[in-house]
Chains A and B, each alone.
Chain A
Amino acid sequence: MFYFTFHFVFQSTLDVKGLTIKMSRMDSTTYLETKAFEKMDKLRLLQLSGVQLDGDYKYLSRDIRWLSWHGFPLKSIPSDFHQRSLVAVDLKYSNLERVWRKSQV
């Protein structure tokens, strides 16, 4: 199992519009700390594959329009994830059973 954060990479506030993280070997899981996303408050497009997030989802940008997460590990989308801006979600190969536990609207 690999465990690391990419905290170091994003030390300063960056105008990051989109981010892709793909790990191609699925039998070992890579965990990323959600806090690493805290500074990326302009993030709109997020694409994850073969990774899992660790920590509160509130750190993810409120601005996310598109979430693509192949291999989404959870059974539902966490309630602390800001989903109001979402216009498209793509969760292939996931364990998702229901989309929202309760509506945030």
Chain B
Amino acid sequence: MLDKTDLFVADHPVGVESRVQDVIELLNSQKSKDPLLLGIWGMGGIGKTTIAKAVYNKIRHDFEAKSFLFNVREVWKLDNDKVSLQQQLLSDIYKTTQININTVESGKKILEERLCKKRIFLVIDDVTKLDQLNALCGNRKWFGEGSRIIITTRDNDLLNKLEVDHVYRMNEMDDSESLELFNWHAFKQPIPSEGFTDLSRDVVKYSGGLPLALQVIGCFLFTRRREAEWKSVLDKLKLIPNNEVLEKLKISFDGLSDDDVKDIFLDIAFFFIGMDREDITKILKDCGHFPEIGISVLVQQSLVTVDRKNNIGMHDLLRDMGREIVHKKSKEVGKEPSRLWRYEDVQKLSKDTVRSDFMLLLSL
């Protein structure tokens, strides 16, 4: 039966069910009566909120009370809204608007006293700052027996500070999931229309398994049915990232408080993907950066990855974002070279027979 209080999850929930099961398994792993805190961690657009919503729909009825605090990063920006988040949490749990919270500090006190009295299920979505966690779920002593708390974030460091019991790391979709999701958006069916199989695979390859990109590009291509159009869209995407995707990914970059870390991110995006972490550290250190801490921060913020062989990786779309940031900035400050222009220039010179990449990293 459809429950009216169910949250909307996704038009085409591809790959959701298996991930929901993984999360629920982790939530059930606590054998004692203690509350359990779980982080869902991953880069922007990878589907953390989607999974949290689906989990919420599935298990919230097993609890005495529940609350889902959406988009904390945005709401938190205004002072009044900090209190309103605490207020919402309290009224969700107690079904009353009688208790008034005046300041964040008094709000903490009230939440600490009251939350522990019930067995609750709480989701705190898109957390970016420790202050937010302090105000909304201070520490595990705030919560009563059997309670379950999910925090979605791009920042693994926050989860460490809160000492969560588990971190569920969201991974990219595999090729078959990606293809299915894309096809649903582009063709409203799980398989591509005739003649579009290869082009669909190209988009999937470009998206690097990021559901956000598959959805945005799929929707854009839905009304387009000429092969030439698709090819042109793909060619363009390889030079200029889709703006909607870019803006969403850029949040993590903009959130870096330290310019040195930003520089290191850009250096990696331009030059060092796939290289050994120690080698990169040596080079960057010599360039006057502080890569030991910088790279750690980038890993925590899901902007770069380190594999088992200690090689540095970066999602293709994050790499493109980094390159686009430099490209845009160089235009802003009136520094002439632009990647696109150079690229075309070289294409012309070489009569399209050689694929070439020219890139400049400017110190800005």
* A-to-B contact residues, CB < 8 Å: 2, 4, 6, 9-12, 14-25, 28, 30, 42, 44-45, 47, 65-66, 68, 85, 87-88
Q: Which of B196-204, B232-240, B294-302, B345-353 contacts A (4 or more CB under 8 A)?
A: B345-353
Evaluate contact between A87 and B271: CB separation under 8 angstroms.
no
Evaluate contact between B361 and A18: CB separation under 8 angstroms.
yes
Evaluate contact between A88 and B271: CB separation under 8 angstroms.
no
Q: Which residues of B contact A68 (CB under 8 A)?
A: 271
State the CA gap A78–B362 with chains docked (Å).
27
Range class of the B interface residue count: 20 to 34
Q: Which residues of A contact B79 (CB under 8 A)?
A: none
Evaluate contact between A28 and B286: CB separation under 8 angstroms.
no
Is B337 in contact with chain A by the CB < 8 A criterion?
A: yes
Given contacts A17-B362, A18-B361, contact A24 B354 (CB under 8 A): yes
Which residue of B279, B345, B356 is within 8 Å of A22 (Cβ)?
B356
**Those of B320-346 within 8 Å (CB) of chain A:** 335-337, 342, 345
Evaluate contact between B356 and A66: CB separation under 8 angstroms.
no
Evaluate contact between B356 and A14: CB separation under 8 angstroms.
no
State the CA gap A47–B336 with chains docked (Å).
21
Closest to A63 in B: B287
Given contacts A65-B287, A87-B283, contact A45 B361 (CB under 8 A): yes
Evaluate contact between B362 and A16: CB separation under 8 angstroms.
yes
State the CA gap A2–B353 with chains docked (Å).
11
State the CA gap A79–B356 with chains docked (Å).
29
Q: Which residues of B contact A30 (CB under 8 A)?
A: 350, 354, 356
Which residue of A10, A16, A19, A66 is within 8 Å of B283 (Cβ)?
A66
Closest 3 CB pairs of A and B: A18-B361, A20-B359, A17-B363
Q: Which residues of B contact A10 (CB under 8 A)?
A: 337
Closest to B279 in A: A88
B318 vs chain A, min Cβ distance (A): 17
Q: Which residues of A contact B99 (CB under 8 A)?
A: none
Which residue of A11, A16, A20 is within 8 Å of B271 (Cβ)?
A20
* B-to-A contact residues, CB < 8 Å: 267, 270-271, 279, 282-283, 286-287, 335-337, 342, 345, 349-350, 353-364
Closest to B337 in A: A9
Given contacts A9-B345, A10-B337, contact A66 B271 (CB under 8 A): yes
Given contacts A65-B286, A65-B287, A88-B283, contact A18 B270 (CB under 8 A): yes
29 A-B pairs with CB atoms under 8 Å apart are A6-B342, A9-B337, A9-B342, A12-B336, A14-B335, A14-B336, A14-B360, A15-B363, A15-B364, A16-B361, A17-B361, A17-B363, A18-B267, A18-B271, A19-B361, A20-B270, A20-B271, A20-B360, A22-B356, A23-B355, A23-B356, A24-B355, A30-B356, A42-B363, A45-B283, A47-B271, A66-B271, A85-B286, A87-B283
State the CA gap A88–B336 with chains docked (Å).
30
State the CA gap A34–B357 with chains docked (Å).
18
Q: Knowing that A15-B363, A19-B361 are A-B contacts, what are 20 other residue pairs whose CB atoms are under 8 Å apart, sorted by A's residue number?
A: A9-B342, A11-B336, A14-B360, A14-B362, A17-B363, A18-B361, A21-B356, A22-B356, A23-B356, A24-B354, A24-B355, A25-B353, A28-B353, A42-B363, A45-B361, A65-B286, A66-B271, A66-B283, A68-B271, A88-B279
Given contacts A87-B282, A87-B283, contact A45 B271 (CB under 8 A): yes
Which residue of A18, A21, A87 is within 8 Å of B357 (Cβ)?
A21
State the CA gap A24–B336 with chains docked (Å).
25
Q: Which residues of A contact B267 (CB under 8 A)?
A: 17-18, 45
